[in-house]
Structure 1
Amino acid sequence: MTDQLYAPAGQCVPIVTLTSKVLAELRGWAAEELPGSEDQLPLLGAAFCEAIVGPWATAEQLRLPARMVIWTYAFDDYIEREVTELADLDAFLDRCRAVVHTGRRDDGDPLLASLSGWQQALSELPGYPALASLWEEKVDRVLRGHRYDWVVGAERERGNPPDAGVEEYLDHADSITLWMVHLPRWIAYGGDEVPKRLDVLAPALDDSSVAVRLANDLATIERERSEPGQNNVLMYGVSEDWVRTELANRIAAVEQRLAPLVAENFLPAVGLIRLTEWSVGIYVGNDMRDVTGTFQADGGSGA
């Protein structure tokens, strides 16, 4: 008899099958849009994540969300590893923002060009108009969070740690990019009811973002203490026990907010629970840069 801690093998087959379909498409896209990235392990992780979070969706419905996961990997690495001047960062973030807000194509580099094509495809989905303003707002917050982390990290490197407390850090937790990878799932396969349930879904995803940010920080602090330009909640005078308590509180808040919708088997709520469980579980005890290595596409922003 199989240990009950493990799912029966037969239950894993649909997930693996869906993962394989998503991965096949994702490899082709990455090879064309982000050259140099197509053989990286994150592609498999992204495809598997999509199948775990939305196992009821089709491979076609998971196509754009999976691409955004890979795009955010490359985006994060570019900002963290390649950008050395604030003016360059601001110019690049402004161009990303312009692509999302205006829909105008920017072929300045592979990151901007791939975002342009992706944004065009997203805007053509039936679910986009009702969530377009929320998408633009949350992308802005993700970009704001990345800028904050970069600026604070640069100041730390110069020996000028911020005066701000942990509350300000958590207010910029959207740098974990969970909104950028999950809102497209609502657009692609969430259904017509999502806009009517945002009063519950949106704050739950906010709590999930903080939870995943904290789980990531716990996993990466040993590496980030010795790396220049880093920003981590444990650099703000709080203990690991405090972080674990706050993490548990945020997970509990997600579950409590979504419980009535989960009881209705409202799939976007179920998916958000699965996303939280998966993302926190992946990060707890795992520094993903050690697991997957640095994700880099050829080129980089020319902004």
Structure 2
Amino acid sequence: MTAPARDWPDATESGLICAVAGRSQREMREWLDAYPGLFSAKPFDDALTSTLSLAMAFSGPWFTAGQLSMANKATLWAFGLDWQVDYVAASAPEVDDIARRCLAAADGADPAPGDDLARFLADVRRDLSAAPAFPVLGPVWREELRALLEAMRRERGWRDAGTVPSLEEYLGNAGNLGFTFVFTSHLIHTGAPSGDLASVREAAGAVERVIRLLNDLGTYRRDVEWGDLNALLLGAPREEVDRRLAELAARARELIRPLRDDDPLIAGYLERQMDFCAGFYRLADYWGAL
């Protein structure tokens, strides 16, 4: 069979990236085993760790597995948090308790025995606190964690009350995706930006909104089955969602562009995260089956 004429990705470079992802996946498998109270549910399958590690490796092909380890660790923790808030917690007070425990762990408190969610986060914080960038970015990390927890609580509240937010309200709550929390963890691990931190954070927030919609377009069927909110379930026609996605992507690229002078790797990582998701969500989802 003759392959179609096109520019295929370089096979050697793709092999190197996949090798990094393979090392990362083995490490993620160890984390799943280390926190069984958090990751014993069926959706935390091998495909989840495989695709997450590939997403990080292809988004930052210049990073080693060690340099990507914190992004992978924070991402896996965020998936565990999402599971606890959306599917394990039976009431709003339980969600509030999850937030309280997580913030306490982020502030250095010892988690209660058996609390694998807080224990994993405490281990993340311990690793981050040893990084040279932590004195500068540690408060930002704490702020992003708080925003993530608040956004998850807000979406869970909408769902429990049967409230249908507008598309703009929904996008305003895109922090529940966890991207900026993970990205901040990655920055602390790999080094603070050389340029303006506020500009980097603004660009990351814009990328997060893009990925929020890309995720929804790719996971519509699962969200219907699992009872999750989705941009396509808010009453806005698909054409409007597609239009907003195009606008948000253009804005994200506009904000990324000035970062290339001082922080080209950060700019490239943000853009490649967005573009990877654009391809990935055409065919797949990270979560395994219930």
The CA deviation at 1:60 is: 1.6
Aligned to 2:201: 202
User: Where in structure 2 are the equivalents of 1:1-303 lying within 5 Å?
Assistant: 3-34=5-36, 36=40, 40-100=46-106, 102-107=107-112, 108-156=114-162, 161-162=163-164, 164-189=165-190, 191-194=191-194, 196-225=195-224, 227-228=226-227, 230-262=228-260, 266-289=264-287, 292-294=288-290
The one-letter amino acid paired with 1:224 is D
In angstroms, what is the RMSD of aligned CA positions? 2.3
What whole-Å deviation, never above 9, does each CA across 1:200-229 have from its counterpart, x for those lacking one? 21111111111111112222334434544x
- For 1:286 and 1:43, how far apart are their aligned partners in 2? 14
User: What secondary structure, in the 3-state scheme, does the structure 1 residue paired with 2:61 have?
Assistant: coil
How does the TM-score come out when normalised to structure 2? 0.88
What whole-Å deviation, never above 9, does each CA across 1:191-250 have from its counterpart, x for those lacking one? 3434x322321111111111111112222334434544x322233321111111111111
The CA deviation at 1:283 is: 2.2
Structure 2 unaligned residues grouped into runs of 5+: none
Report the more deviating stretch, 251-260 or 36-45. Answer: 36-45
| Percent of aligned pairs sharing the same letter | 24
- For 2:226 and 2:34, how far apart are their aligned partners in 1? 32
What whole-Å deviation, never above 9, does each CA across 1:242-285 have from its counterpart, x for those lacking one? 11111111111111111133366611111111111112332245
The one-letter amino acid paired with 1:165 is S
User: What secondary structure, in the 3-state scheme, does the structure 2 residue paired with 1:13 have?
Assistant: helix
Structure 1 unaligned residues grouped into runs of 5+: 295-303
Which consecutive segments of 4 or more residues in structure 1 shift more than 4 A? none
Q: How many correspondences in the alignment?
A: 283
- For 1:223 and 1:59, how far apart are their aligned partners in 2? 31
Structure 1 residues 121 and 287: alpha-carbon distance in aligned structure 2, compared to 1, 3 A threshold: closer
- For 2:224 and 2:30, how far apart are their aligned partners in 1? 37
- For 1:227 and 1:19, how far apart are their aligned partners in 2? 29
Q: 1:218, 1:240 within 8 Å by CA — same for their partners in 2?
A: no
- For 1:97 and 1:210, how far apart are their aligned partners in 2? 24
Report the more deviating stretch, 14-23 or 140-149. Answer: 14-23
Q: 1:200, 1:257 within 8 Å by CA — same for their partners in 2?
A: yes
Structure 1 residues 71 and 192: alpha-carbon distance in aligned structure 2, compared to 1, 3 A threshold: closer
How does the TM-score come out when normalised to structure 1? 0.85
Q: 2:211, 2:277 within 8 Å by CA — same for their partners in 1?
A: yes
User: What secondary structure, in the 3-state scheme, does the structure 2 residue paired with 1:93 have?
Assistant: helix
Structure 1 residues 16 and 223: alpha-carbon distance in aligned structure 2, compared to 1, 3 A threshold: closer
- For 2:239 and 2:28, how far apart are their aligned partners in 1? 39
